[in-house]
Chains A and B, each alone.
Chain A
Amino acid sequence: MIHIERDFKEIYNKHSDKVYRLCIGYAAGDEDLAKDWHQETFIKVWNHRKSFKGDSSISTWIYRIAVNTCLSDLRTPKRKVTTERLVSDQTDSIEITEDRTGMIQKMYHCINQLTSQNKTLILMELEEIPQSTIANTAGLEHGTLRTRLSRIRKSLLKCIKNG
């Protein structure tokens, strides 16, 4: 049991930051929501640890759980309202300020306009997660992923520049 806990702590320390930032991207900057999802993700990792068969890397498995946790929770009506409210708040802030925070808020706003799958792809890419892991997490072919990422990057840049 002690060595299982030690392994979990090691995995947690290695992936926690990236999972949190993936969640905050999904939550359009809502830190409380991101913390909930982050915690939920690692509770699931702990609970399902016996079901991990090693078919994929442990990182892929954890990112899948994180992405699916955010995706699943976003489908509930309560969460949708929260996200929509956030988007409208951020739109106001974009008009007022163009400082660092404003740029990040603008980026959250633009990411939030993407489809759920595209959100996953760009958030993982921005976290510099290897493309093979992204492809396995999202369930896409590597070639398709590369094309898709290039398209998403272009539309994201356009959105950030034009508002």
Chain B
Amino acid sequence: MDNDILNKVWNENKSSHTIPEPSSIIAKANQQRRKQNIGLIVMGITVLILIAYATLYLPSSFNSFSLGLTLMVASMLVRIIIEMYSKLQKASKLASMDAKTYKLYLKRYYKWRMKINYILTPVCFAVYCYGLYLLFPYFKNEFSNGFYLYLIASAVISLML
């Protein structure tokens, strides 16, 4: 009898609500997938260009400028790849695990995210900053004093933000 009360109250809630058409869900899903694919293609091309550049030029003229660039690009790439891997893993687990197992997975996932945020990200950031620092002497030689100061100021401001 009491059980009926709960169902009765809950069924009062079966009001009309507008839900999207399935075709609009498919369109949205395909649009998201296209955007992800474009992002991956752009990143893939960037990585290929960097590898080509490194293979052709770095062995003959490796200096602190090349090292600085390599550190900056590598630190960014590591961070992006880990971020993407982490998100893809989470999405695939969501569709394959029951709620109990997924909840346990989420606990591990958020611990892992904490490690990424508090250990890996500062390390990547430090490596990136060091790479940038190595470039400054070259900027000083190549550019005017005013533009050099502007580069330093904009680098500091953008890193702080």
B28 touches A67 (CB 8 A): no
Determine if A43 and B28 form an interchain contact, defined as CB atoms under 8 angstroms apart. Answer: yes
Interface string of A6-48 (1 = CB under 8 A from B): 0011001100110011001000000100010011001110111
Q: How far is the CA of A128 from the CA of B9 in the complex (A)?
A: 14
Cα–Cα distance between A47 and B92 once the two chains are bound (Å): 10
Q: Is the interface of A mostly helix, strand, loop or mixed?
A: helix
Q: Distance in Å from the Cβ of A39 to the closest Cβ of chain B?
A: 6
A43: contacting residue among B3, B10, B32, B101, CB under 8 A: B32
**CB-defined contacts of A67 to chain B, threshold 8 Å:** 99
Within B23-57, the residues touching A (CB, 8 Å) are 23, 25-26, 28-29, 32-33
Please report whether the interface of chain B is mostly helix, strand, loop or mixed according to DSSP: helix
**Interface segment, A80-88, A89-97, A99-107?**
A99-107
Closest to A120 in B: B99
Quick one: CB contact mask for A33-76 with B, threshold 8 Å, 1 for yes?
00100110011101110010000000001001101110110010
A contact residues around B96 at 8 Å (CB): 51
Interface residues on chain A, number (Cβ under 8 Å):
48
Determine the chain A residues whose CB is within 8 A of the CB of B14 once the complex forms: 21
A-B contact count (CB 8 A): 114
Residue of B29, B90, B110 touching A47 (CB-CB under 8 A): B29
Contacts of A129 in B (CB 8 A): none
B126 within 8 A of A: no
Q: Is the Cβ of A104 less than 8 Å from the Cβ of B9?
A: yes
A153 adjacent to B2 (CB under 8 Å)? yes
The reply to whether B13 and A104 form a contact with Cβ atoms under 8 Å apart is yes
Q: Which residue of the partner chain, among B25, B94, B95, B100, contacts A117 with CB atoms under 8 Å? A: B100
Who on chain A is nearest to B100 by CB?
A: A139
Given A43-B28, A153-B3, decide whether A68 and B102 contact each other with a Cβ distance below 8 A.
Answer: yes
**Bound: A108/B106 CA distance, A:** 25
Which residue of B7, B92, B103 is within 8 Å of A51 (Cβ)?
B92
Decide yes or no whether B159 CB sits under 8 A from chain A. no
Contacts of B25 in A (CB 8 A): 12, 39, 42-43, 46
Q: Does B12 count as interface, using CB distance less than 8 angstroms?
A: yes
**A138 and B99 in contact, given A75-B106, A107-B10 (Cβ under 8 angstroms):** yes
Q: Which of B13, B19, B94, B99 has the most CB of A within 10 A?
A: B99
* Interface residue from A5, A31, A64 paired with B97 (Cβ < 8 Å): A64
B146 at the A interface (CB under 8 A): no
Whole-angstrom distance between the alpha carbons of A107 and B6 in the complex?
8
Chain B residues in contact with chain A, CB under 8 A?
2-3, 5-7, 9-10, 12-14, 17, 19-20, 22-23, 25-26, 28-29, 32-33, 90-92, 94-103, 106, 110
A residues sitting closer than 8 Å to B (CB atoms) are: 5, 8-9, 12-13, 16-17, 20-21, 24, 31, 35, 38-39, 42-44, 46-48, 51, 61, 64-65, 67-69, 71-72, 75, 100, 103-104, 107, 116-117, 120, 126, 128, 136-140, 153, 156-157, 160
Nearest first, the 6 A-B pairs at minimum CB distance are: A139-B98, A139-B100, A48-B95, A12-B22, A126-B10, A9-B22
